[in-house]
């Protein structure tokens, strides 16, 4: 039986609070098995952002866990697709279609094997770079023109299969590094929705944590 606090949260998530103008999507795989894996850096970062805003991404909608939040005066739907990484675009497309959000207003947080751990990179658009979650979103939105913040997990060692590397567990120290990157992602998202993407790129791209 749900507690009174669960009911309050549900009411808070269903009350109208202004038009959703942006989607902020953290990519990962659902379930305890994947909770602390490299491939779930998007989940870890967006959970950190939610924590900083005093909200929880817990309302089930669009095949995702969601919540609403304000960034620089813009209403944003934060979401963690529950469709597994390869089908992330299904949840994103449903939300984008419902709220009539153009691709350039979809901001995606994901892991990146081409970046060293402790690095983040903001891009306005681009190819998936071998990332299945980004590839799914590109396919479902029929566009590469959405900003993304990529969080470095490093190239796989020679003796690893790629799947084993990205699904490998992060250490507690590595998780804290991703959370610190999440702090900067929070600021970067505020800049992006304010039309300051170039400034965000200049500030955060190449920064080491």
DSSP string, 132-182: HHHHHHHHHHT-S-S-EEEEE--PPPTTS-HHHHHTSBPPHHHHHHHHHHH
- Mean pLDDT (the chain) is 93
Over residues 36-93, the pLDDT tens digits come to 999 999 999 999 999 999 999 999 999 999 999 999 999 999 999 999 999 999 999 9
Half-sphere exposure of 193 (CA within 13 A, CB side): 23
Which residues fall within 8 angstroms of residue 6, CB to CB, at 6 or more apart?
Answer: none
Question: Residue 109 pLDDT > 70, yes or no?
Answer: yes
> Which domains does the chain show, CATH number per domain?
19-204 (3.40.50.1470)
Q: Which residues of 94-129 are buried (b: 16+ CB within 10 A; e: fewer)?
A: bbbeebebebebbbbbbbbbebebbbbbbbeeeebe
Q: Is the pLDDT of residue 119 over 90?
A: yes
| Whole-structure pTM value | 0.90
Q: Are strands 148-152 and 106-112 parallel, antiparallel or unpaired?
A: parallel
Share of the chain above pLDDT 70, in %: 92
Q: To which residue do tokens 């490299």 refer?
A: 38
Q: For residues 138-153, give the mean pLDDT.
A: 98
pLDDT reading at 146 higher than 50: yes
Residue pair 169/36 in contact (Cβ under 8 Å)? The answer is: yes
User: What are the residue numbers of the active site?
Assistant: 39
Q: Cα-Cα-Cα-Cα dihedral of 115, 117, 119, 123, to 10°?
A: 40
């Amino acid at each position: 039986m749900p507690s009174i606090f669960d009911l309050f949260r549900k009411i808070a998530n269903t009350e109208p609070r202004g038009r959703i103008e942006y989607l902020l999507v953290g990519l990962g795989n659902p379930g305890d098995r994947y909770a602390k894996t490299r491939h779930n850096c998007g989940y870890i970062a967006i959970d950190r952002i939610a924590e900083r805003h005093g909200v929880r991404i817990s309302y089930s909608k669009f095949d995702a866990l969601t919540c609403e939040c304000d960034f620089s005066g813009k209403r944003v739907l934060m979401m963690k697709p529950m469709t597994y990484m390869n089908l992330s675009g299904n949840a994103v497309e449903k939300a984008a279609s419902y709220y009539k959000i153009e691709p350039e207003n979809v901001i995606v947080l994901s892991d990146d094997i081409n970046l060293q751990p402790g690095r983040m990179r903001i891009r306005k658009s681009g190819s998936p770079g071998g990332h299945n979650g980004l590839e799914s979103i590109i396919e479902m939105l029929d566009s590469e023109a959405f900003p993304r913040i990529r969080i470095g997990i490093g190239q796989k060692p020679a003796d690893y299969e790629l799947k084993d590397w990205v699904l490998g567990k992060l250490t507690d120290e590595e998780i804290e590094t991703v959370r610190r990157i999440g702090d900067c992602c929070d600021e970067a998202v505020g800049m992006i929705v304010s039309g300051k993407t170039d400034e965000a790129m200049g500030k955060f791209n190449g920064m080491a944590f």
